[in-house]
Amino acid sequence: MESIHQIMRQSAEAFQVYRKVSGKEKARFLRAIAEEIEALGMALIQTTMEETNLPEARLLGERGRTIFQCKMFADLLEEGSWVEARIDTADLARTPLPKVDIRKMLVPIGTVVVFGASNFPYAYSTAGGDTASALAAGCPVVVKGHPAHARTSTMVAEAILRAAERTGMPKGVFAHVDGGNGFEVGKYLVMHPLTKAVGFTGSFIGGKALFDLANQRPEPIPVFSEMGSINPVVLMPEKMSVASEDVALKYAASITQGAGQFCTNPGLILGVDNADLSNFIKVLAKEIEQIVPVKMLNAGIYQNYESKRVVALSQENVIAEAESLIERTETIQAVSTVASVDADTFLDNPTLHQEVFGPFSLLVKCKDEAQLLTVIQHLEGQLTTTLMATEAELSTHPEIVDALRSICGRLIFDGVPTGVEVCFAMQHGGPFPACTDARFSAVGPDAIKRFVRPASFQNFPNSLLPAELQNENPLNIWRMVDNNWQK
């Protein structure tokens, strides 16, 4: 591990320089990363297709999102107000005690270790949201590339290093570690005393293991793990009475999109057992049966999907409502599946609450709306929850709305959870076990707040303050001065 130790030392040394680099200079760096990734052209796309089985169109879209994220954080840095500058000026005449001058802003925390995700080789991996937000915050980044797309990760890492050299960033501001499948490399990175935070997207087992390791350190550090979700969807009776077929068509597409390999895949559907729900199941089943099987990301993910799918279907009172009937032509093609179970069984069987990562969804049949609420109240934390309802049902069932809101980061009305907009208002996170810290988003400009901390300066000479806190406001950013927002 000596080579990784040297990487961590160089990263810590880079932090002493990089944390003082201006926002405009860091923005240039992020824009250069976007340019270098784009310059990789179709060679990058082709490499990733070979490694992940993902289609060209999907990868082109994801690469575009990755480039957009880098530019988004560059815009954030150039504007500058993200540091949340707060200034309370002195009042020496105040009685009985004088008031001191005190000023506060967000500052970077140090080296961030990022673990690449298997299901998003660009947007959640080497140059993904964790890396871009950490670099924007002023933190050097050490990426452990994901072994499922090692060549892709290396290509993107080399693009980031070229961007760093082009823009004069300190050596060590970014590093890439090819740890293979070994858990020991990840453990070493998390436990290293120079690591100050961790970003992770993946399984509950992996994310929780990193979280536990970080809390065993002499100096515990934050671990921002996004660990998956079953993203429950509630089908309200009135909505189903008028739109059961439309909703079924919409959800057949969402469940099977990208072979279900999304953290927001709708893995659980809840409804009141009646004729409209039966019609929904009938239409959904017909659509699922016609889904053409597609290859999953790799053999390991396929085997995990198959084993969990088989376990779910083998549980007492679980009925397989539909499986894809199209013949599979390759061994790691996923069989899209919808199953159902009664609510009493679901409530009594914790196995049925677990995520089946892939194109699988379990429909829970409730006796009435009271039992529907009971099921919701027994669910764990989620990235998303969805309410398929009429506007009138929103007003007449506040207890269901509140129950869903209390367990998720994003509550969706009359839509599907798949599709995550990159914007300020997006909350991509949720209560445990969806994430290790529900206060933060892994998507959007606010993701930067994971890798900073507030710091105050008391009675400092104006000329020695950071530019963001100086009286003249040389950066022309929005600041709160004596309780008033101003520039």
Do 111 and 198 lie in a common domain?
yes
| Residue 208 CA, distance from chain mean position | 15
pLDDT at residue 439 above 80?
yes
* Cβ pair 195, 171 in contact under 8 A: no
Q: Please name the helix (run of DSSP H) or strand (run of DSSP E) that holds residue 485, with its range, or none.
A: strand 484-486
Number of domains in the chain: 2
**Catalytic residue, candidates 226, 321, 355, 393:** 226
Residue 299 maps to a domain: yes
Residue 375 maps to a domain: yes
pLDDT at residue 64 above 70?
yes
User: What's the average model confidence in pLDDT over 337-363?
Assistant: 97
Residue 372 maps to a domain: yes
Q: Residue holding tokens 């871009």?
A: 132
Do 162 and 248 lie in a common domain?
no
User: Which long-range contacts (C-beta less than 8 Å, at least 24 apart) are formed by 75-81?
Assistant: 75/27, 76/136, 76/445, 76/448, 77/23, 77/24, 77/26, 77/27, 77/30, 77/136, 78/23, 78/24, 78/27, 79/477, 80/23, 80/468, 80/475, 80/476, 80/477, 81/477, 81/478, 81/479
Q: Which tens digit of pLDDT belongs to each residue from 264-286?
A: 999 999 999 999 999 999 999 99
Do 202 and 340 lie in a common domain?
no
Q: What is the pLDDT of residue 183?
A: 86
Do 265 and 406 lie in a common domain?
yes
Residue 327 maps to a domain: yes
Q: What is the pLDDT of residue 179?
A: 67
Do 217 and 240 lie in a common domain?
no
Q: Around Cβ 199, how many Cβ atoms within 10 Å?
A: 29
Q: Please name the helix (run of DSSP H) or strand (run of DSSP E) that holds residue 283, with its range, or none.
A: helix 275-289
Do 107 and 40 lie in a common domain?
yes
| Cα–Cα distance measured from residue 428 to residue 445, given in angstroms and rounded to the nearest whole number | 11
Residue 433 maps to a domain: no
Q: Around Cβ 224, how many Cβ atoms within 10 Å?
A: 28
Residue 355 maps to a domain: yes
Do 178 and 272 lie in a common domain?
no
pLDDT at residue 181 above 70?
no
Please list, residue by residue across 265-286, b when 16 or more beta carbons sit within 10 angstroms of its beta carbon and e when fewer do. Answer: bbbbbbbbbbebbeebbebbbe
Do 263 and 217 lie in a common domain?
no
CATH number at residue 237: 3.40.309.10
When pLDDT is cut at 50, 70 and 90, the band that residue 1 belongs to is confident
Residues in the chain: 487
Q: Around Cβ 321, how many Cβ atoms within 10 Å?
A: 18
β strands within 265-377, DSSP E? 268-272, 319-323, 337-342, 360-366
Q: Report the DSSP beta bridge partners of residue 435.
A: 226
Do 79 and 220 lie in a common domain?
yes
Q: Is 263 a catalytic residue?
A: yes
User: What's the average model confidence in pLDDT over 36-42?
Assistant: 98
**Catalytic residue, candidates 263, 366, 408, 435:** 263
Find the domain containing 25 and state its range. 2-227+438-486
Q: Around Cβ 465, how many Cβ atoms within 10 Å?
A: 16
When pLDDT is cut at 50, 70 and 90, the band that residue 330 belongs to is confident
Do 194 and 326 lie in a common domain?
no
Do 299 and 408 lie in a common domain?
yes
Helix (H, G, I), strand (E, B) or coil at 114: strand
Do 149 and 32 lie in a common domain?
yes
